Amino acid sequence: MRLTSAAPCGVWRRQTWLGHVGGGGGRGRIDAGPRGRGAGPRGRGATGRRVGGTAENGAGWRGILDFDYGIVQAPLGPDISGPELAAAVANAGAIGLLRLPDWPAPDRVRELIWKTRSLTSRPFGAAIVLAFPYEENLRVVLEEKLAVLQVYWGEFPRERVEEAHRAGVKVLHQVGSLEEAAKAKEAGVDGIIVQGREAGGHVIGQEGLFPLLPRVVDLVSDSGIPVIAAGGIVNGRGYVAALALGAQGVCLGTRFVATEESFAHPIYKKKLIEMSRTDYTNVFGRARWPDAPQRVLETPFYAGWKNNLSDHETEESQPIIGHSIIHGMHKDIRRFAGTVPSATATGDVESMAMYAGQGVGLITEILPAGEIVKRLVAEAKDVIREKLSDLK
């Protein structure tokens, strides 16, 4: 299931993953307006064909799935990217991803999918973490024939990818190293998200985005697999920088947490527009997900503990500081738990983990998700027109 792309003329003589970048006379453009079609309630496009088939028109995923822009909303755990956010992103022409539970919950997964379909007629996807039991949740994703399945933090072998393809589902694999990218390529995935260490939340790799991204692009250049950049990107300047390094799209997490539709707690959102410093740490979530460092905001709570917590301490021995309802499950939140505060969180919210990428200092306001997509495209156009128009 290879993705193809037509190359427009101009300074950018290539196509981005889901939208054109280029234009005549050295003038850059990012081009594609909503065409008003999409996956209906049963995952079929306007023609009645199931989305996720073979490209017939040379336009890659843009033609197959009716996405307009090379912008992906990262899956935000544990339930920050719910139906409202994923649908809003999809309605804006980008890819919205539901964050599915980290435990077997097939009924909940189906509920999330149906709720999202009630809010959008456009295609969207879902994400699973391979470090946790996922088979039952995956089964529902394939039964519901979602447009996209994103996987990360583990291997997703060829037989799994082929199973998804038989259901008409495209597979995106998020990687943090060249070795992971090589395995994803061998497995036959449809797209690779390259996560740099600048990213917020759990970061699997050790390299920054700029040195890693072009190496992955070169690695898969003979396969036609699109590469999407993730880590520290929050605006059009970052979008264009990623394209210059060979990416065909961008994946944003922190920027979409700070939206009206995200299910993040208001205090968490407020911190994202007030603070600019982050740190890469293993202070949070050591017991449940060991060896899985995260990038978090340097809140006063974190700053007071980052150098004062012994290596053997975990959240298991810590007091309960709050509660939350996560995917319908009532959860106690202990100090140092790796659980960000969702809208249902109560208790000492300011002492909870708050994931954020290094681009957080560029976020200054809470916006609708659709406005984020619109501004990314407009800003990228401006950068290409104003900064790159002399490159011919």
Amino acid at the residue 369: A
Q: By 3-state DSSP, what share of the chain in percent is helix, strand and coil, each rounded to 5? A: 30, 20, 50
pLDDT at residue 128, as a whole number:
96
> What does pTM read for this prediction?
0.85
Q: Output Rg (C-alpha) for the chain, integer angstroms.
A: 20
DSSP single-letter state for residue 157: -
What's the pLDDT at 257?
98
3-state secondary structure of 221: coil
Distance CA 192, CA 266 (A): 32
- Token digits for 161? 């990818």
- Give burial (CB, 10 Å; 0-12/13-18/19+) of 282: middle
324 has which bridge partners? 331
Quickly list H helices, 220-275: 236-244, 254-257, 266-274
Asked if 16 contacts 117 with a C-beta cutoff of 8 angstroms, the reply is no
Give me the phi and psi of 65, to 5 degrees please: -105, -5
What does the angle CA 116 – CA 121 – CA 124 come to, to the nearest 5 degrees? 55
Task: Note down pLDDT in tens along the chain; length 392 residues.
Answer: 333 333 322 223 334 443 433 333 333 334 433 433 333 333 333 333 333 322 333 344 444 445 678 899 999 989 999 999 999 999 999 999 999 999 999 999 999 999 999 999 999 999 999 999 999 999 999 999 999 999 999 999 999 999 999 999 999 999 999 999 999 999 999 999 999 999 999 898 889 999 999 999 999 999 989 999 999 999 999 999 999 999 999 999 999 999 999 999 999 999 999 999 999 998 898 777 777 789 999 999 999 988 877 766 777 789 999 999 999 999 999 999 999 999 999 999 999 999 999 999 999 999 999 999 999 999 999 999 887 776 66
Q: Domains for the chain: give ranges and CATH numbers.
A: 14-262+367-387 (3.20.20.70), 266-361 (no CATH)
Distance between CA atoms of 68 and 50, rounded to whole angstroms? 18
DSSP-derived letter for residue 135 is H
> Cα separation of 299 and 301, whole Å?
5
Quote the pLDDT of residue 322: 97
Residues 6+ apart with CB under 8 A from 368: 88, 259, 260, 261
What dihedral angle (degrees, nearest 10) is formed by the CA atoms of 87, 92, 94, 98? -10
Q: Which amino acid belongs to residue 218?
A: D
- The region that residue 52 occupies, defined by phi over 0 for left and psi between -120 and 50 for alpha, beta otherwise, is left
Token pair listed for 211 = 């040195």
Helix (H, G, I), strand (E, B), or coil: what is residue 4?
coil
Instruction: Return the SS3 of 271.
Output: helix
| C-alpha distances out from residue 382 to 235, 239, 333, 355, 376, Å | 12, 12, 44, 30, 10
**Contact between 116 and 39 (Cβ < 8 Å):** no
CA distance 118 to 109: 14
Q: How far is CA 64 from the centre of its chain?
A: 20
Cα–Cα distance for residue pair 66/82, rounded to 1 Å: 21
In the chain, DSSP assigns E strands to 14-15, 20-21, 30-31, 71-73, 97-99, 125-129, 148-152, 170-175, 191-195, 201-202, 227-230, 249-252, 278-281, 294-297, 320-326, 329-334, 346-347
Residues in CB range of 278: below 8 A, 6 or more apart: 200, 295, 296, 297, 298, 356, 357, 358, 360
Contact 73, 125 (CB under 8 A): no
**Could you tell me the sign of the dihedral formed by the alpha carbons of 364, 369, 371, 376, in that order?**
positive
Reduce the DSSP state of residue 279 to 3 states and report it.
Answer: strand
Tokens at residue 320, please? 């309960």
